[in-house]
Copies of this chain bind each other. A is one copy, B any other.
Amino acid sequence: MNPPITLIGSGNVAWHLGPALENAGYPVIEIFSREKRNAKALVKRLYNADHTSSLDFKESSSHVFIICIPDDAIEEVAKEIIIPEHAILLHTSGNTEMNILEYSATSNYGVFYPLQTFSKNKKLSFTEIPILLESSNKDTYKIIEKIAKSISENTYKVNSQQRKRVHIAAVFASNFVNHLLSLSEEILRKQNLDFDILKPLIIEQVTKSLNIDPENAQTGPAYRKDFKTLDNHVEILQNEYSEELVDIYKMLTQSIIDHYS
């Protein structure tokens, strides 16, 4: 039988991870959360889970405890939580070292990091989400790998050092990309043009980047070293937009030129 699971937290990760675990045959029996409303909404998504606001799980029949809370609260919870002997304690953070869990009462701990952006109102299939795994010992690894493989086709063994760098790469590929889309929308807004006008281009560009690799998909005036257009763009940005847009334009343009020289 699959070991029962307890989720610590009721935010976006727990919201998606809970039902995915249950669908894969892992009963989620407890939700710890100090946010009652969130916890109750998540409990409703599950077959037979209870809400608790105590971190004392000495008497719990759960075997795996997954911490899904903001990074800066993990250490405190790890120190406070009491779990049954031999149970496993995991966190789900990209940027937090595994060893933050070593001060908990268990010697079986690890990381179960789903590399994805989660929001509650958006359905997600876990099947393709990469899950990055790390553990304090081999037996723990076997168990958490089995759980990960039951919900995703992409699991990776990644240590804390690597995971942090993956997280930095994710900042570039997700947070920064999204911000550039915001800036492009801002530029259009000043021309009374709708962001919709750019959407087919964005979809095609990103599809191409992922299919043939971004380095093979680079185009544009910087790539062509079309200095006339580049100067013209900088001039327009200088005259009509913010210093910030000028600086970002210049820096990314220079980076493209350097990369393809």
Question: Could you tell me the distance between the alpha carbons of A113 and B48 in the complex, rounded to whole angstroms?
Answer: 58
Is the CB–CB distance between B180 and A176 below 8 Å?
yes
Interface string of A205-247 (1 = CB under 8 A from B): 1101110011101111111001011001100110010001001
For this chain, the copies found in one complex come to 2
Of residues 140 through 177 on chain A, the ones whose CB sits less than 8 Å from some CB of chain B are: 154, 156, 158, 162, 164-177
Question: Could you tell me the distance between the alpha carbons of A187 and B164 in the complex, rounded to whole angstroms?
Answer: 11
Residues in chain B near residue A170, CB distance under 8 A: 184, 198, 201
Q: Chain A: interface secondary structure?
A: helix
CB of A81 within 8 A of chain B?
no
The stretch from A1-9, A24-32, A36-44, A122-130 touching chain B is A122-130
Residues in chain B near residue A168, CB distance under 8 A: 187, 233, 236-237, 249
CB of A55 within 8 A of chain B?
no
Residues in chain B near residue A240, CB distance under 8 A: 165
Known contacts A185-B214, A255-B248; is A130 also within 8 Å of B180 by CB? Answer: no
- The closest CB in chain B to the CB of A254 belongs to B244
Question: Could you tell me the distance between the alpha carbons of A161 and B237 in the complex, rounded to whole angstroms?
Answer: 13
Residues in chain B near residue A201, CB distance under 8 A: 115-117, 170, 173-174
Residues in chain B near residue A119, CB distance under 8 A: 208
User: What band does the interface of chain A fall in when counting residues whose beta carbon is under 8 Å from B?
Assistant: 35 or more
Question: Could you tell me the distance between the alpha carbons of A214 and B249 in the complex, rounded to whole angstroms?
Answer: 19
Known contacts A166-B193, A197-B156, A228-B72; is A202 also within 8 Å of B175 by CB? Answer: no
Residue in B179, B197, B208, B256 whose beta carbon sits within 8 Å of that of A115 in the complex: B197
CB of A138 within 8 A of chain B?
no
Residues in chain B near residue A252, CB distance under 8 A: 176, 179-180, 248
- Name the residue among A95, A200, A256 with the largest chain B CB count within 10 angstroms: A200
User: 3 closest A-B pairs (Cβ-Cβ)?
Assistant: A175-B220, A173-B184, A181-B214
Can you pick out 11 interface pairs between chain A and chain B where the beta carbons lie within 8 Å of each other? A71-B226, A117-B204, A169-B185, A173-B205, A174-B205, A174-B219, A175-B221, A177-B177, A179-B214, A179-B256, A180-B252
5 additional contacts (CB under 8 A) given A130-B196, A171-B233, A172-B181? A124-B204, A172-B249, A178-B219, A179-B256, A180-B180
